[in-house]
Amino acid sequence: MTDLFPADAVLENLFTGATWGEGPVWLPALRRLRWSDIPGNRILEYDDASGTTHVLRTDAGFSNGRTLDRQGRVVQCSHGRRAIERESHDGPRTLVDRWEHGRFNSPNDVVVARDGTIWFTDPPYGIHESGREGYPGRPEYGGCFVFRFDEASGAAAPVITDMVHPNGLAFSPDESVLYVADTGYLQVPGGPAVIRAYDVVDGAHCTHGRDLVAVRPGGTDGMRVDAEGRIWSSSADSVQVFTPAGERLAGLPVPEKVSNLCFGGDDGRTLYITASTSLYRIRTATTDARYADR
């Protein structure tokens, strides 16, 4: 544990009051942690200077996962608009909401590669009849794929088509491997609760898909990769850390079901954790694989 967390690291609860928190991202310029309350249909921000949380936006398009692009702008998934969008001073702007065979289901989580392309997962959780995490709707292309969107060409293309319900995703530090969680177990009897790994070819294609590790309890939702290439995964009772080979290194117990996490803080070494109704944080001994890019 000592190479993952300082000896005096303590898990802190920063806020409780969300319905189902998701989509954390650290905003360096504002020194704030922004995240989604998906069923509450709002976006929240924790302000590091004041230690307080405020509502940034309501009627928020049932936003889910988010990240920063190469220019430090927020790119996020919207269940409600079935889109990938970018935040600007006058609100979110849709970047892409369909490919040649129809609209997306409900983009769930997103990463930006060093070449600026946007990679995201598209399970159906935001179009269910319940309307809990979006607006009821029909799937239009008959699958749940991982897509790569090239803003320069305006085209989105599937890069992974053999998963049940792709969810969280993250690149290895050199972007030679893409890790993607499959949460098929949530709705498909006997469905997968695994992190899969794919080799990335020419920065545009994924091959050699393989199950890396089955994560229990509760499976992996969101995840991040640290500067040493280790995978920091959500699960039902903890944050779990794995080697690139899928060997479990450690588990950090969390009092609520963990949905997602991200590194942040001024030195990038604080881990922020969205878990059910709350936002938590803890100091670590590492940082995000992408921290040096900032």
Q: Which stretches of the chain bind Mg ion, using CB under 5 A?
A: 108-109, 167, 221
Q: How many Å is the Cα radius of gyration of the chain?
A: 17
Q: How far is the CB of 22 from Mg ion (least distance, A)?
A: 6
Of the two residues 108 and 233, which places its CB atom closer to Mg ion in the complex?
108
Q: How far is the CB of 90 from Mg ion (least distance, A)?
A: 27
Of the two residues 76 and 167, which places its CB atom closer to Mg ion in the complex?
167
| φ, ψ dihedrals at 120, nearest 5° | -150, 160
With the C-alpha atoms ordered 283, 231, 262, 39, is the resulting torsion angle positive or negative? negative
Of the two residues 9 and 146, which places its CB atom closer to Mg ion in the complex?
146
Q: Are 281 and 12 in contact (CB under 8 A)?
A: yes
Of the two residues 37 and 48, which places its CB atom closer to Mg ion in the complex?
37
Q: How far is the CB of 167 from Mg ion (least distance, A)?
A: 4
Of the two residues 76 and 108, which places its CB atom closer to Mg ion in the complex?
108
Q: How far is the CB of 112 from Mg ion (least distance, A)?
A: 16
Of the two residues 167 and 284, which places its CB atom closer to Mg ion in the complex?
167
Measured distance CA(69)–CA(293) in Å, rounded: 11
Q: How far is the CB of 183 from Mg ion (least distance, A)?
A: 7
Q: How far is the CB of 237 from Mg ion (least distance, A)?
A: 17
Q: How far is the CB of 108 from Mg ion (least distance, A)?
A: 5
Of the two residues 105 and 108, which places its CB atom closer to Mg ion in the complex?
108
